[in-house]
Amino acid sequence: MEGLVHSRFNPVHATRIHYHSRLIPAFSILFSKNFTKTPVLFMKGHRSFNSVVTSVQPLEASGLGHFDNTLPSKDILQLWRSADAVCFDVDSTVCLDEGIDELAEFCGAGKAVAEWTARAMGGSVPFEEALAARLSLFKPSLLQVQEFLETRPPKISPGINELVKNLKAKNTNVYLISGGFRQMINPVASILGIPPENIFANQLLFGSSGEFVGFDVNEPTSRSGGKATAVQKIRKVSPIAFHLMLFSDNTCKADYLVNQVHGYKALVMIGDGATDLEARKPGGADLFICYAGVQLREAVAVGADWLVFNFADLINSLE
């Protein structure tokens, strides 16, 4: 185990062009300076997935120790109700499991990878180190990832679908920010009705034969502090303004938008891990809500503005 920890592979820097396959809806081929004449594939599309209806119930606050932040103050409630953007972590928050642990278990390396995940989410090891070490333990192939997605639909946390619907009804934009992989998060976003442009996550990379070659380090969520960076990017320019700038044929209009649009006035981050807590930095989230309905990480719970064990609390507090 110790030897494997230090035998890391090099993450990949890549650019993209499109490639299509009959087996998988869409890919992109990526070429890297680190791999001479070796095409690198990543999955872009996904099939329709139905979420698993699970009987797992959220953890309850009773018996788990004393926390003084389970009842929100008036100011925190006001921030929550006035938020025009809410960002969710995915693993152990939107979903009931840790995606990389599930994929590793599917590939036969579940226990070793789960131990690293616990360390990464607790903040005891830099995220990028833990991500590289975990992937090096099982190196999932493209075929394994596709088989995993086809046989194991997302396990959605109780209440998250209703919460997202209620937020949308209030014209609140919803984002998914995850240290997990887009290949596994796209189906979750589809179930919740969250557009692809509102996803910040990592990307697995594969060689021309479908072999695992690394992950895209250009994604901000591939390193420690990445979720804070993602939130800061979201705050700077809202999606509508971004697309207006992107497709505007009027240079003056685009420049005006860049200078005048400052994004969201109130942004909330919801998650269970240390990387989620990091998002509450200057220029980042105004409010961090720790969701402990799946995993209670005490250091994160103590540092949160508001600790909840059930999404129903957030739904009821919107009214």
Active site residues: 89, 91
What is d(CA 169, CA 81) in angstroms, rounded to the nearest whole number?
A: 12
What is d(CA 227, CA 275) in angstroms, rounded to the nearest whole number?
A: 6
What is d(CA 161, CA 166) in angstroms, rounded to the nearest whole number?
A: 9
What is d(CA 64, CA 86) in angstroms, rounded to the nearest whole number?
A: 27
What is d(CA 157, CA 91) in angstroms, rounded to the nearest whole number?
A: 10
Contacts of 291 by beta carbon, 8 Å cutoff, 6+ apart = 89, 93, 270, 271, 272, 308, 309, 311
What is the amino acid identity at position 174?
V
Order of strands, edge to edge, in the sheet holding 15-19? 15-19, 27-31, 39-43, 204-207, 212-215
Per the DSSP assignment, residues forming a β-bridge with 268 are 86, 287
Question: 261 in helix, strand or coil?
Answer: coil
Structure tokens of 33?
């300076």
Contacts of 123 by beta carbon, 8 Å cutoff, 6+ apart = 273, 274, 275, 299, 300
CA distance to 3, 94, 101, 318, per residue, from 154 (Å)? 33, 10, 13, 26
Dump the DSSP string for 54-76. -------STTS---S-SS--HHH
Structure tokens of 246?
């992107």
